[in-house]
Amino acid sequence: MTNKKILITGGAGFIGSHVVRLFIEKYPSYQIYNLDMLTYAGNLANNSDLNDKPNYHFIKGDINDSDFIDGIFNDFGFTDVIHLAAESHVDRSITDPLAFIKTNIIGTVNLLNASRKLWKTEPNHLFYHVSTDEVYGSLHNENEFFTETTSYDPQSPYSASKAASDHFVRAFHNTYKIPCVISNCSNNYGPNQFPEKLIPLFINNILTKKPLPVYGKGENVRDWLYVKDHAIAIDVIFHNGKLGETYNIGGFNEWHNIELIHLLCKVMDKKLNRKEGESAQLISYVTDRAGHDLRYAIDAQKVMNELGWKPSLQFEEGLEITVDWYLANAEWMQNITSGEYQKYYDEMYANRA
Ligand code: NAD
Ligand code: TYD
């Protein structure tokens, strides 16, 4: 179907903004509706270059409001949904789990219900649910990887809420035959990421010469993927994924936090003309995150073998591009970190020292 009307939720956030841009530019015949409530994590500056595109439409609204959601499905007649809107930060989920239950579970079910009512049993629709590898829990054995058949074992309020939302998507597929697909991706990095997450937070602290708060011993392992590679995977799965299936997406790129942080410090020293080793002196070991998952590692062979996707960038290259972006977009960072952010930062990190 070329005249698709795709609802992308969370399109003013980090990953969503890259997915919206890719779809707008690659598929001029699709109408793209970006629904975002503009929480602290949503930022229209992430999409400001798209405002004049004839196939781009922004809708401000809350996925937790079922009447509003039903209303826009009726008004616009969406043919497909790519659902990214979520509360996405583990540390915030430890402080306020209920906010995650509301948006990540109830918000997802509101969208599923609206899709079910509008599409009934018509074919040629798709509900694409964007999820995380964190639903699988924490790995402790070096030879283990998360595959699509790994049992769910979420360990944080964030991952528990995402796991529940995945279960609801599958339940709606099974019960109401909603055409759906789910992908579970590893940690993303790149332009436009809110500086509560490791890489942009550390870039900002290095820039401003503030301590770099490493949780615990920095021994936790994450598998990092450049955000535009995630957006490309979503495009590939949206168009060619099999209905009812799950696809794991990852970079085959595992880093101990402390090794990643040393690499980031080295890149930043070079870019800022600082003496090598200067930024690493800011490293400060702080109280660990409660229930901190030790290791995430994705086996992405299914999406690679069946759909031909693969990561395009080496991590060193992606990290350098990312640092360049943050340095070139100092105003973007200043606008975010000048207001409420400082309060968040002080509260989140006050008791960690
Ligand atoms: P983000 O926090 O940067 O953006 C979330 C967006 O959702 C924001 O624009 C926010 O305004 C919007 N939003 C939040 N609550 C809303 C509501 N009630 N109604 C409407 N909009 C609302 O998140 P992100 O990092 O871009 O993650 C996007 C999706 O990808 C999430 O579902 C997340 O679970 C998943 N994911 C993220 C990562 C990662 O590394 N960041 C990895 C795998 C999967
Ligand atoms: P984060 O970017 O929050 O992603 P996630 O917890 O979803 O993987 O954190 C990545 C890793 O970095 C994780 O092991 C926690 C750690 N971390 C720190 O050591 N210090 C920090 O200030 C933050 C935000 C994260």
> Who lines ligand 1 at CB under 6 A?
9-10, 12-16, 36-39, 41-42, 62-64, 84-86, 88, 103, 107, 130, 132, 162, 185, 187-188, 194
Lowest-confidence range among 57-71, 226-240, 327-341? Answer: 327-341
Alpha-carbon distance 226 to 223, whole Å? 10
Place 142 in a pLDDT band, splitting at 50, 70 and 90. confident
pLDDT digits (tens, 9 = 90+) for 305-320: 999 999 999 999 999 9
Residue whose entry in the numeric block shows the structure tokens 């099974």 = 174
Q: Reply yes or no on whether 133 is catalytic.
A: yes
Q: Specify whether the CB–CB gap between 87 and 158 falls below 8 A.
A: yes
Residue whose entry in the numeric block shows the structure tokens 């360049």 = 324
> Which structure tokens are listed for 115?
């899709």
Alpha-carbon distance 29 to 349, whole Å? 47
pLDDT digits (tens, 9 = 90+) for 50-70: 999 999 999 999 999 999 999
Report which ligand 2 atom has the smallest distance to the Cα of 218.
19
Q: Reply yes or no on whether 340 is catalytic.
A: no
Alpha-carbon distance 160 to 53, whole Å? 37
% of the chain at pLDDT higher than 90: 97
26 Cβ contact list (under 8 Å, min separation 6): 235
Q: Specify whether the CB–CB gap between 184 and 132 falls below 8 A.
A: yes
- Ligand nearest 185 Cα, by number? 1
Alpha-carbon distance 250 to 308, whole Å? 14
Measured CA to CA in angstroms, residue 222 lies from 281, 300, 323, 346 at distances of: 23, 14, 19, 25
Domain ranges of the chain: 5-193+224-255+292-315
At 279, give phi and psi (nearest 5°): -65, -35
Fold that domain 5-193+224-255+292-315 belongs to in CATH = Rossmann fold (3.40.50)
Q: What is the pLDDT of residue 2?
A: 66
Residue 16 has pLDDT above 70, yes or no: yes
Centroid of ligand 2 to alpha carbon of 127 (angstroms): 29
Alpha-carbon distance 309 to 301, whole Å? 9
